[in-house]
Amino acid sequence: MSAHKQRGLSLLELAVVVTIASVLAAVAIPSLRQQLLDNQVTAQSSAIVGALSMARMEAASRNAVVTLCPVAADDTTKCEAGSLDWSRGWVVFTDADGVLGQRDASDEVLQIFPALQTGMSLGSDGAFISFAGTGTLASAAIKLELRRVPCAGAENRDIIIRLGGHPFVKQASC
């Protein structure tokens, strides 16, 4: 008689491996999804802070007022008058003359930022943000509220700009 050596896995061993892999996947996937959502919010808040810093730097380098405002629905080079919803994007422009926070014909558009990713909203307690030539705010202190819709946990961000002009980000819950 010759002894046969078993090669491969038995059906029982394969079933145990598949069960363990399924349990590990069930535990890891929700955590991975939450990490992905958190990273999207962090990336978007970093892009907003970058836009604010660019506007502040332009104001200081030009020694002139530079303003950000939510874009109008029909023209991305103009401000949506009185809007507190920045989700469609925003325009950065020199605000040399006329009414502060309104883009006039003589104002130069510096950059237009696109709409937020789907599932995110950006609200504010002010319709525009203006930086003076010193880099400080020419408008009132303001808070931008970046929200994920729907939200779970503390994946929201508040971006606060005080009179000194420096933006900072703070985590906010749903």
Mapping DSSP onto H, E and C, the string for 105-168 reads CCCCEEEEECCCCCCEEEEECCCCEEECCCCCECCCCEEEEEEECCCCCCCEEEEEECCCCCEE
Per DSSP, the three-state class of 91 is strand
Q: What angle do CA 80, 169, 131 make, to 5 degrees?
A: 50
* Count of Cβ atoms closer than 10 Å to residue 174 Cβ: 12
For residue 56, what pLDDT is reported? Answer: 96
pLDDT (tens place) for every residue of the chain, 174 residues total = 556 676 777 888 888 888 888 888 777 666 777 777 788 888 899 999 999 999 999 999 999 999 999 999 888 888 898 899 999 999 999 998 778 888 888 899 999 999 998 889 999 999 999 999 999 999 889 999 999 887 766 778 999 999 999 999 998 887
Q: Are 159 and 147 in contact (CB under 8 A)?
A: no
Q: Are 70 and 81 in contact (CB under 8 A)?
A: no
Specify the pLDDT at position 91. 94
